[in-house]
């Protein structure tokens, strides 16, 4: 006699999993505000100080004949800052 086949339960969809996760781990408003402010502040700080340091060191960087020029460095700093600000916005709304 063959054993009866019992199918595995259906896996939840992505939206159902997110809804369940949010239901179980919903943060309080002060926690979301502090987390969002930290990421947005860090992104803003990174953008401002990174670009000011690049401006101050521009001559040295150009004279070094580095593989990474000013454009790629600016883009890197802007990307990091935008990523952190994006994380802050995600933390607030998600």
Dump pLDDT digits (tens) for 23-52.
Answer: 777 778 888 899 999 999 999 999 999 999
pLDDT reading at 7 higher than 80:
no
Q: Which of 42-46, 55-59, 64-68 has the lowest mean pLDDT?
A: 64-68
Q: Which of 81, 58, 79 is nearest to 69 (CA)?
A: 58
| Location of structure tokens 């994380």 | 87
Predicted confidence at residue 1, as pLDDT, reads: 54
Question: H helices within the chain, ranges in order?
Answer: 14-24, 29-56, 58-63, 70-93
Tell me which H or E stretch contains 2. Answer: none
CA angle at residue 73 from 59 to 90, to 5 degrees?
Answer: 145
**pTM (two decimals):** 0.68
């Amino acid at each position: 006699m063959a054993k009866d086949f019992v199918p595995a339960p259906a896996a939840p969809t992505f939206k159902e999993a997110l809804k369940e996760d949010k239901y179980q781990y919903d943060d309080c408003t002060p926690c979301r505000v502090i987390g969002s402010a930290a990421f947005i502040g860090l992104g803003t700080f990174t953008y401002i100080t990174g670009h000011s340091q690049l401006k101050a060191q521009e001559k040295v960087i150009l004279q070094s004949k580095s593989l990474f020029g000013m454009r790629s460095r600016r883009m890197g700093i802007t990307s990091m800052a935008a990523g952190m600000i994006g994380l802050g916005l995600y933390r607030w709304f998600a």
